[in-house]
């Protein structure tokens, strides 16, 4: 093979891998002791890997090859180019149908992640993942491979099935190997498309519609975020490795990073890189750094999420995984630095460089101050936001406003008519006229009877005024200046309404504020440092490119169960868990501290490039700020970012951890 021939080191590495995998055969009597020792070593290595990866624990159940062989003739017509064409058509049809329903689709997320839906979500997740794994197995069998293992993998203690389709590695065509890797996602996305069609054609509020949404959610979002993610050792990783034709991508990328440390930090000139090709080295280096950063991020985010839901289990996961991922590697590094033979001539430099890197890392994290940002979600509110109700039973005969109309205090909104009240008023007037005639006659004939008649007149006058007041209440007027919002009152035209039934809502848009809900731990920093020691940045969800400053911060110093707006709760797509028995969606399960603040109209924090090009929010001179009109509307969501005094990252992380465990363990 000339210059492309494998080197001696590559041959030795290949033989070593074959030996460790029990793939070497020799025409000689086996050494029983050696085989047993290697078996024990493989068992210990597998057990250690399971212990280290407790978040991804795997357990074999049975051999599914016979089941897949029985299923293959049924699905074989679909595992072809015609089947791919049908798959594309169904998925595209579902996407096109879903696009006009995007708002309803996003609003359904809140009900999906609500605790009441968790049992159905878990069942649907397991079923869709079983179909996912069947896709891997069937396509592997379609190309002549074997599937000897089916089992259950616990992803952060969450059950998920898996199959062993590693025989695809023997396929000489990389596109067949990629097809096996993509098979699970193809099957799962097809299920998501079918579920989308079912969801679009079922009645709101039905169980079938919720299950269909669950299937869409698990079979699309999870498959894209996890299975297709090449930074995790799932389908996307093996597909990327096959596409780049770089085998053992993860292991070799880690070995390349070790090589750079040994060669350039420790001065070990005799070290050999895992690849001699420049292009492959770049791929391994970029992938290794990205995968390592993502692994740390995933460990922290998953651990924190589990701790917020199941604190004790999350704490065990955090301690165990932290020890396995960080403490044990540090121990191995120390042992390697102290005793490895390859460091005989470089031990002093290696130890010194390691200590310097540790000091530099700890110093950067523990001494250098960085900006401390905290975040929250709020909603635009009006200082005067009034629900207008019908005060008398009646028939709606005239509606004079629509949502969005600007009204003044006293403007007529809705007019009703009540024949009962009109009849009662007419009766009272007739009785009044009769009583007045009696009084006049009594004044002439019987002064004592005139006194009784006069008292009767006073009672009737009060009754007439009462009926007139009730008739006046049939005319609904604006309680203050503002804008009509909510449902269209014209929908009630000609309908009989009851007293206390909502008519419309009037919001004063001239005096707006932001209301945010923070848990006790999230609000603690406000009470610790005071409102005058941090800055607030506001971004409307409808206008994220413009950042406004916030001011006049005020926090109610007592926890509130009622949220400022239903959009903050699970039912409205928010992140705050609400009570299961609450129909309004505004009663939080745990008390929240309500923060009120107002936008600063005279200062804009930042804008995007397009806004700057148009002169929006930025003056002619660099750094100059100009006033922008506040474009928020009542009920609109707002993202808030608080900038606290600068602190080292270790101090910030310790503070967040302390707030998280506060009240759950004794510190």
How many Cβ atoms are within 10 Å of 505's Cβ, its own excluded?
A: 19
In whole angstroms, give the CA distance from residue 29 to residue 350.
45
Average pLDDT over the chain reads: 80
Q: What is the 3-state secondary structure (H, E, C) of 417-460?
A: ECHHHHHHHHHHHHHHHHHHHHHHHHHHHCHHHHHHHHHHHHHH
Q: Are 595 and 518 in contact (CB under 8 A)?
A: yes
Q: Is the pLDDT of residue 621 over 90?
A: no
Q: What confidence score (pLDDT) does residue 471 get?
A: 85
Residue 480 phi, psi dihedral angles, 5° rounding: -165, 175
More confident residue, 582 or 505: 505
Tokens of 307: 């701790």
Q: Is the pLDDT of residue 610 over 50?
A: no
Check whether 608 has a pLDDT greater than 50: no
Q: What percent of the chain has pLDDT over 70?
A: 84
Residue 198 pLDDT grade (very low, low, confident, very high; cuts 50, 70, 90): very high
**pLDDT of res. 29:** 66
With beta carbons less than 8 A apart as the criterion, state whether 133 and 182 touch. no
pLDDT at 48: 62
Residue 634 pLDDT: 73
CA dihedral 533, 538, 544, 546 (to 10 degrees): -80
pLDDT digits (tens, 9 = 90+) for 475-520: 888 888 888 877 788 888 888 888 888 888 888 877 778 888 887 7
Least confident of 119-123, 192-196, 200-204, 559-563: 559-563
Bridge partners of 501, per DSSP, are none
Distance between CA atoms of residues 485 and 636, nearest Å: 12
* Rounded Cα distance, 516 and 564, in Å: 7
Q: pLDDT-derived band of residue 239, with 50, 70 and 90 as boundaries?
A: very high
The reported pLDDT for the residue numbered 459 is 86
pLDDT for 42-96, tens place per residue? Answer: 767 666 665 555 556 677 888 998 899 999 999 988 888 899 999 999 999 999 9
Report the pLDDT averaged over residues 261-274.
85
d(CA 659, CA 518): 13
Q: E strands, 252-329, where? A: none
pLDDT > 90: percent of the chain: 12
pLDDT for residue 614 is more than 50:
no
**pLDDT interval class at 187 (50, 70, 90):** very high
Q: What is the pLDDT of residue 292?
A: 87
């Amino acid at each position: 093979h000339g210059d492309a021939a494998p080197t001696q080191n590559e041959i030795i590495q290949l033989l070593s891998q074959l030996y460790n995998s029990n793939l070497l055969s020799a025409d000689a009597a086996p050494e029983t002791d050696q085989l047993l020792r290697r078996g024990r070593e493989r068992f210990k290595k597998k057990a250690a890997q399971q212990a280290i990866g407790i978040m991804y624990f795997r357990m074999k159940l049975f051999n599914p090859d016979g089941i897949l062989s029985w299923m293959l003739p049924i699905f074989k017509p679909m595992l072809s180019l015609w089947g791919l064409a049908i798959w594309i058509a169904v998925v595209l049809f579902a996407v096109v149908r879903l696009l006009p329903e995007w708002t309803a689709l996003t609003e359904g997320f809140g009900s999906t992640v609500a605790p009441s839906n968790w049992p159905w979500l878990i069942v649907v997740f397991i079923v869709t993942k079983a179909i996912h794994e069947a896709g891997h197995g069937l396509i592997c069998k379609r190309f002549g491979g074997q599937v000897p293992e089916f089992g259950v993998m616990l992803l952060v203690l969450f059950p998920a099935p898996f199959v062993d389709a590693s025989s695809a590695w023997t396929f000489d065509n990389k596109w067949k190997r990629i097809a096996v890797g993509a098979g699970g996602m193809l099957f799962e996305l097809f299920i998501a498309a079918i579920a989308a069609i079912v969801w679009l054609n079922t009645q709101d509020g039905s169980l079938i519609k919720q299950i269909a949404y669950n299937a869409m959610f698990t079979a699309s979002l999870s498959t894209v975020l996890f299975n297709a993610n090449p930074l995790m050792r799932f389908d996307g990783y093996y597909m990327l490795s096959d596409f780049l034709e770089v085998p053992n991508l993860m292991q070799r990328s880690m070995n390349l990073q070790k090589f750079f440390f040994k060669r350039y930090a420790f001065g070990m000139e005799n070290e050999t890189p895992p690849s001699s090709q420049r292009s492959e080295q770049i791929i391994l280096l970029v992938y290794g750094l990205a995968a390592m950063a993502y692994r740390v991020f995933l460990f922290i985010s998953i651990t924190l999420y589990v701790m917020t839901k199941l604190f004790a289990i999350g704490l065990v996961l955090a301690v165990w995984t932290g020890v396995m991922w960080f403490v044990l590697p540090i121990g191995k590094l120390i042992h390697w630095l102290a005793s490895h033979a390859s460091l005989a001539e470089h031990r002093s430099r290696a130890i010194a460089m390691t200590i310097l890197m540790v000091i530099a890392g700890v110093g950067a994290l523990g001494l250098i101050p960085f900006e401390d940002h905290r975040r929250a979600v709020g909603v635009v509110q009006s200082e005067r936001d009034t629900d207008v109700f019908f005060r008398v039973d009646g028939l709606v005969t005239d509606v004079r406003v629509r949502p969005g109309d600007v009204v003044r205090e006293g403007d007529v909104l809705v007019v009703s008519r009540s024949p009962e009240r009109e009849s009662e008023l007419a009766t009272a007037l007739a009785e009044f006229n009769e009583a007045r005639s009696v009084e006049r006659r009594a004044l002439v004939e019987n002064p004592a009877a005139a006194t009784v008649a006069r008292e009767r007149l006073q009672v009737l006058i009060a009754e007439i005024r009462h009926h007139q007041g009730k008739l006046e209440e049939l005319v609904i007027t604006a309680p203050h200046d503002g804008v009509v919002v909510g449902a269209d009152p014209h929908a009630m035209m000609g309908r009989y309404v009851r007293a206390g039934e909502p008519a419309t809502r009037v919001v004063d848009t001239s005096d707006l504020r932001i209301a945010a809900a923070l848990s006790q731990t999230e609000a603690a920093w406000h009470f610790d440092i005071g409102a005058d020691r941090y800055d607030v940045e506001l971004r409307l969800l409808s206008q994220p490119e413009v950042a406004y400053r916030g001011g006049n911060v005020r926090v109610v110093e007592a926890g509130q169960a009622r949220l400022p707006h239903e959009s903050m709760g699970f039912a409205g797509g928010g992140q705050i868990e609400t009570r299961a028995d609450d129909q309004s969606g505004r009663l939080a399960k745990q008390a929240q501290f309500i923060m009120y603040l107002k936008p600063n109209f005279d200062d804009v924090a930042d804008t995007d490039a397009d806004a700057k090009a148009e002169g929006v929010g930025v003056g002619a001179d660099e750094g100059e700020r100009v006033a922008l009109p506040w474009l928020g509307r009542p009920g609109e969501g707002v993202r808030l970012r608080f900038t606290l005094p600068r602190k080292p990252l270790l101090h910030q992380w310790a503070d967040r951890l302390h707030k998280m465990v506060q009240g759950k363990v004794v510190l």
